[in-house]
Structure 1
Amino acid sequence: MGLCIEGGCLCGAIRYRATAPPISRSICHCRSCRRAGGAPSVAWSTFHVNSLVFCQGVPMRYPSSEDVVRTFCGNCGTPLSYRHVLDTDTIDITTATLDAPEQFPPTRETWIEHKLPWERLNESTRHYPRGGDGN
């Protein structure tokens, strides 16, 4: 059958499935992710868009900025995904919504210049002041 990574929202109305492992795993400290997640930071697993499908329910879409669309469960409010309109090849999924999030630990932390002062960085990850591409 092959690899199958699954996850979904708190109430179970939305389910998704990935058929390939994530291409990156990160924690984001930016203000936008903190507000969207209602948390001091948000862990993301990035998948090739062709390897991920929402197989139950249809997530609600929210354009959180001019170039970004986030999805969430319209029933329970669980944040599910992040897509930048210029990056048509990938989709970020909130790692905590995976059925086995412990299998996908982050390898980097981004936007640490926005990090809340009382949150600690994980010393075993790479740290980036802004986005994870070295800027």
Structure 2
Amino acid sequence: MSDLSGRCRCGGLTWRAEGPILWSAFCHCDDCRRAASSDYVSWLGVRRAGVIWTGDRRLFRSSPRVVRSFCAVCGAPASFETDVFPDETHLYAPSLDDRSLYRPSAHIFWSERLPWVSVGDDLPKHPKGLQDAAANGRSLLR
């Protein structure tokens, strides 16, 4: 078990989480890209019960089953929580204090990637998300 920590851009919002990292992946879905204004998002999943937040964290219900959070001071995106994975919090990997802890294991929602995204890695590329990968016997666990 490891202790993970991270922060937003301004440092006004911090988090600590009991490890381990449950999974890690690059997400190419339209919702994540738009929420982060990015070509894709680097996620890591941790146990929700082990996450402690400090600072002014704001919540936004981005869809009926999803709550995203962000720093109220600088606006940096902080997390993704969904009823689909009720025991997990998904954190933005670049927010890690020790970024060397992040080792992505797959690309998810590859079918929704932007047309200009080209990657040179040999990671698995799942057309859909975590549920679909699991249903097809492909684990994203590290």
Fold shared by both chains (TM-score > 0.5): yes
Structure 2: how far apart are the matches of 1:3 and 1:46? Answer: 13
Alignment of 1:21 with 2:20, yes or no, is yes
Residue identity matched to 1:63 = R
Aligned Cα root-mean-square deviation (Å): 1.5
Residue identity matched to 2:17 = A
Q: CA deviation at 1:124?
A: 2.5
> In structure 2, what is the equivalent of residue 129 of structure 1?
127
> In structure 1, what is the equivalent of residue 76 of structure 2?
78
Aligned partner (choices 29, 44, 58) of residue 60 of structure 1: 58
TM-score, normalized by length of structure 1? 0.91
CA spacing shift, 1:113–1:71, aligned 2, 3 Å: same
Amino-acid identity (%): 29
Count of matched residue positions in the alignment of Structure 1 and Structure 2:
133
TM-score, normalized by length of structure 2? 0.87
Aligned partner (choices 96, 109, 112) of residue 111 of structure 1: 109
In the alignment, structure 2 segments of 5+ residues that lack a partner are 136-142
Residue identity matched to 2:71 = C
Q: Which runs of 4+ in 1 moved over 4 A?
A: none
Q: CA deviation at 1:87?
A: 2.2
Q: CA deviation at 1:5?
A: 1.1
> In structure 1, what is the equivalent of residue 87 of structure 2?
89
In the alignment, structure 1 segments of 5+ residues that lack a partner are none
Deviation string 1:82-126 (CA, Å, 9 cap, x unpaired) is: 011232210100001011123212101111111011112353311
